[in-house]
Chain A
Amino acid sequence: MKRIAVGTEKGAYLLEGSGSSWTVDGPMFPGWKVTAFGQARDGSQLAAVGSNWFGIGIHRSRDFKEWSELESAPSWPDGEDRKMEQVWTFHGDGDRLWAGVAEAGLFTSDDGGVTWDPVPGLNEHRTRADWGPGFGGLCAHRVLTSGDRIWAAISAVGCFRSDDGGATWEPKNEGIPAVDSADGGERPEVGYCIHGLAHDPAQPDRMWRQDHLGMFRTVDGGDTWERNEEGLPSGFGFVIWRHPGTGRLLTVPLHSSESRVPVEGRLRAYASDDGGDSWGVAGEGWADSPQFTGVLRGAFDGDESGLFCFGTTGGKLWLTEDGGDSWRELAPAFPRIGAVRLVG
């Protein structure tokens, strides 16, 4: 039996089952936006919630059914003009948990999420005054780690890398077009709208990046990026996900920054089996009818068994259980989906 956690604008839901038989439990956290799921090293599950009225919170569970709110959560120091709007991502690395948040910043916890410390090397970066929000806000939405080398993706700002465990950070966006720079103008140090980031844990400097302005990859940890979007109907989208076993890359292209729905309503996951050299529609089973809906960066997950699942802004779930060869839409409908996580 598989379990899929779904975070929506109105609560979280847990799907359990396989094949054509899935049960739905929820809503958990009724009335709250559920923005990210994570897992502490002791196996406990974490869910980040947010509210337009009551700020953010982090809840912990052993069974994904009974939850308790942790007393603390990432927070900016008292008196700050920065607002803690949302936890966008959790990333576990050994005993350390990372959280990426909006207003953009990173926090770490070494006690399973009970207490959180800011990462000043990034949060107070020398370029911080030049950070500006994109359409989705000013958010740190992805963290990847490999030993002391750490990457952070900040929307509308760029990719940052630390080579000293998070003490110091440098922007890593060479080869990426800046969102607002005029042709021929001097390249700004920040202002690169990274939407998604994935890497090969066995060769962590091999990375793929879904950017506002295209799909890119690097083989040197982000020092230089090159475009790789042959076969994609559009370079725009939010998702980039890599299967840890086969190396298959998956994305869900959307038409453009302006429309943010699939080209001609043809909702499809696209896959690359050659490291991004070429892309094609992943498998079969896609709807014939137009699907004018989006897929957000946190709403795609998968496991080694070949179960991949993504949720849409229209509140539907699509999944494959054979590594992307055959897809189907599940029957239940949910509020707008922003987070999907396969729960171990």
Chain B
Amino acid sequence: MSVQVRLPRVLTDTAGVAPRHEAEGTTLGEVLESLFAGAPGLRRHLLDEEGRIRPHVLVFVDAAREARETTVGPDAEVQVLQAVSGG
């Protein structure tokens, strides 16, 4: 099942990846793994050493903040946002 993933510009500009990706999966975790398969460097930027979504990274599925275990429906849009903090 294909879903759309959108990434923030501060990440895509520096990591050299596209802002929009097609990814596969039925859970948010699977979608992220599909994303990492095409852009391995993103794993380090989105997950911490324990495999959890980084504390200041927010991942939304269809505008609701979700965890990795969340089921992702057909044609869902996954959006990665950074926390807005700091000067």
A32 close to B50 (CB less than 8 A) = no
List of A residues within 8 angstroms of B44 by Cβ: 55-57, 73, 75
Q: Which of A32, A75, A81 contacts B14 (CB 8 A)?
A: A32
Q: Does A68 contact B (CB under 8 A)?
A: yes
List of A residues within 8 angstroms of B40 by Cβ: 71
Which chain A residue lies CB-closest to B11?
A: A54
B49 close to A57 (CB less than 8 A) = no
List of A residues within 8 angstroms of B51 by Cβ: 78-79
A123 to chain B, nearest CB (A): 14
Q: Which of B10, B14, B56 has the most CB of A within 10 A?
A: B14
Could you count the A-B residue pairs with CB atoms below 8 Å apart for me: how many are there?
65
A30 close to B49 (CB less than 8 A) = no
A57 close to B45 (CB less than 8 A) = yes
List of B residues within 8 angstroms of A76 by Cβ: 49
Q: Does A65 contact B (CB under 8 A)?
A: no
Which chain B residue lies CB-closest to A49?
A: B14
Give the complex CA separation of A54 and B41 in angstroms: 11
Q: Which of B13, B16, B41, B57 contacts A53 (CB 8 A)?
A: B57
List of A residues within 8 angstroms of B57 by Cβ: 53-54
A80 close to B11 (CB less than 8 A) = no
A68 close to B16 (CB less than 8 A) = yes
Q: Does A187 contact B (CB under 8 A)?
A: no
List of A residues within 8 angstroms of B82 by Cβ: 53-54
Residues of B within 8 A of A (CB): 10-11, 13-16, 40-41, 44-46, 48-51, 54, 56-57, 82-83, 85-86
A-B contact pairs, 22 of them (CB 8 A): A31-B10, A31-B14, A49-B14, A51-B45, A52-B56, A52-B86, A53-B83, A54-B57, A55-B44, A55-B48, A57-B14, A57-B15, A57-B41, A59-B14, A69-B14, A69-B41, A71-B41, A75-B44, A75-B49, A78-B50, A80-B49, A83-B49
